Each structure stands twice: as C-alpha cells, then as structure tokens.
Amino acid sequence: MKRAPLMLAVIAFGLTAAESSGRREAPTYTAAGLVNAASSQPGALAPNTLATIYGKDLAYATRAMAPGDISAGALPTVLAGTGLRVLVGSIPAVIYYVSPGQVNLLIPGLLSPGPADLQVVLNGVAGPAVRVELADAAPALFLLAPEWAVAARPGGGIVGPDSPAQAGEVVTLYATGLGRCAPDPPYGRVPTAAARLERLADFDVLLNGEAVNREAILYAGVAPGFGGLYQVNLALPADTPANPEIRLKLGQRISPEGVRLALR
C-alpha cells in the first residue's frame, strides 16, 4: 500500500524520536504466535520452512526484503535500518519482512528435526526464548485467497476462481515445508537451480483425498530464486472433478485441509 509523503515523514519522525529517546522495549511474542507462513496455522515447522511470528514491539519500522538487500546471492539476516534479528537454534534466520506486529522469516535449513529455541532480538534487546518443535516436514500450500491454492500455468498466468484450470492441464503449485532436497540448496543463499525432494518416493498430491498417479507429478522441489519456496508441477488427471480439495503429503505430514484448486 502506498503512503502519502506526509505520512512517511510522520513515520520517519516517530522512529527517530523513539530511538533517540532510548526507547528499548523487549519484543513480546509467544510460541502460539509462530505459524507457517503459507497456511497461517500454528503447529510443527521444519527446517527450510517459511514462517511468520506475530507479537508486539517486534520492530520500530515496517520493511520488506528488496533486491538491494541480497548481496552476491546471500540472503539477509538483518534488513538494513531495522536492527532486528531472529535466532532459531542460535542460527540467524533469513528475514523477509518486519513490522511492529509481524516478522516473516526462514527457519534455518542447517537445523535438524527436534526442539529448538527461537528468540527475537531488536537493537540488542532480546525477547523471550520460546521452544519450537521442528519436524522433518511441515507441508503447506500458499493461498491466493482463504480457500484457494496459488497455482500458475507454465506459460504464465495465475489459476484462480476467475481463471480456473482444466482437467489435463499442467499447473505449478507453490508451497513451503517440504523438507530436504537433493542436493539441498546452501542455507542463506538464493537457490539458483532446480533440486528435487530428497524423499520424492514419500511425496503425494491428494485431490479430494485420493493420491494422484506419481507420474502426474512432473517435478517437486526447490523453486529457484526464492529461499524456502518449493514448487510442484502437476499434470491434472483427465477425470479431475471441479474445484477439488488439494493437499500435499510427505510421509506422515500433510498440508491443512479445506484448500481447493480452481478447476472447471
């Protein structure tokens, strides 16, 4: 959303005044405010999963990662001018977005499944260390709207209720939390090449609760150009019914229910 120049000046003045006055509140948040960034639902996360933490006094500024924040392929663990870091298992997380009430981050891919402590640090002032349970996978589809999965056509164009896919068409789905790939992209760097899921044999796409034929999954793995993002290229079966529920399953982990793929 664009803001008027006067509003930007007011915001800038407010930040300057707060910082120069020595205001140093500790960030406030709880484990319940940590969710999967795709589904916005709490629960287990996984290494290399995009996550969101909600709270209070998390930052003095609102800022999203921009191309200038990426240096020689290295993703930022601090967005310039924010003074905010997030440590997960003592490893700095990649930061995608900060605001006083919300931070979007990438759970470090260097971690292994199991418990880890997460802590937000703002200008050297640390919030509480909260315990996070990391699983081997935490699949979730990104959403175009509350009940519709984000999908794209290979030639471009978004699949949605106003432009549904058709049975037999190939679509690309976008997700996070699909676990390790072979090879795994280096943590903290922009992935530049495709890499399939390490556990591809355990991966399924469910349409109305039924797994599609594995041959219909043309690719499932890293989405080059964006750390923590996965893509699934799916050839929709010819008998796919309209607007099916779609879920991703990796081993015993499954994406949230109630998400549909727009299909006529």
User: For each successive 10 residues of the chain (264 residues), what is the average pLDDT?
Assistant: 32 33 77 96 94 97 96 97 97 98 98 97 97 97 95 92 96 98 95 97 98 98 96 97 98 97 96
* Residue at 260 is within a domain: no
- The single-letter code of the amino acid at 49 is T
- Predicted TM-score (pTM) of the model is 0.89
* Residue at 264 is within a domain: no
Question: For residue 140, what are the CA distances in angstroms to 88, 115, 167, 263?
Answer: 20, 20, 23, 20
Pick the last residue of a domain from 94, 111, 134: 134
Give the per-residue pLDDT at 24.
66
Q: Are residues 97 and 35 in the same domain?
A: yes
CATH number of the domain at 70, please. 2.60.40.10
Question: In a 10 Å sphere around its CB, with 0-12 CB exposed, 13-18 middle and 19+ buried, how is residue 51 labelled?
Answer: buried
Q: Are residues 158 and 172 in the same domain?
A: yes
Q: Are residues 144 and 250 in the same domain?
A: yes
Number of domains in the chain: 2
Residue ranges making up the domain that contains 219? 140-254
Pick the last residue of a domain from 88, 119, 134: 134
Question: CA–CA separation, 60 vs 33, rounded Å?
Answer: 19
As a whole number of Å, the CA-based R_g of the chain is 20
* Residue at 263 is within a domain: no
Question: CA–CA separation, 227 vs 189, rounded Å?
Answer: 7
Q: Are residues 45 and 153 in the same domain?
A: no
Q: Are residues 34 and 128 in the same domain?
A: yes
CA torsion through residues 247, 103, 29, 85, sign: positive
**End-to-end CA gap in the chain:** 33
Give the per-residue pLDDT at 44.
87
From the list 95, 87, 104, the residue with the least C-alpha distance to 38 is 104
* Residue at 262 is within a domain: no
Q: Are residues 32 and 106 in the same domain?
A: yes
Q: Are residues 120 and 146 in the same domain?
A: no
Q: Are residues 46 and 109 in the same domain?
A: yes
Q: Are residues 218 and 239 in the same domain?
A: yes
* Residue at 78 is within a domain: yes
Pick the last residue of a domain from 119, 134, 149: 134
Give the per-residue pLDDT at 177.
98
Question: For residue 79, what are the CA distances in angstroms to 12, 104, 169, 187?
Answer: 16, 12, 40, 17
Q: Are residues 209 and 113 in the same domain?
A: no
To the nearest 10°, report the CA torsion of 29, 31, 32, 33: 40
Q: Are residues 12 and 121 in the same domain?
A: yes
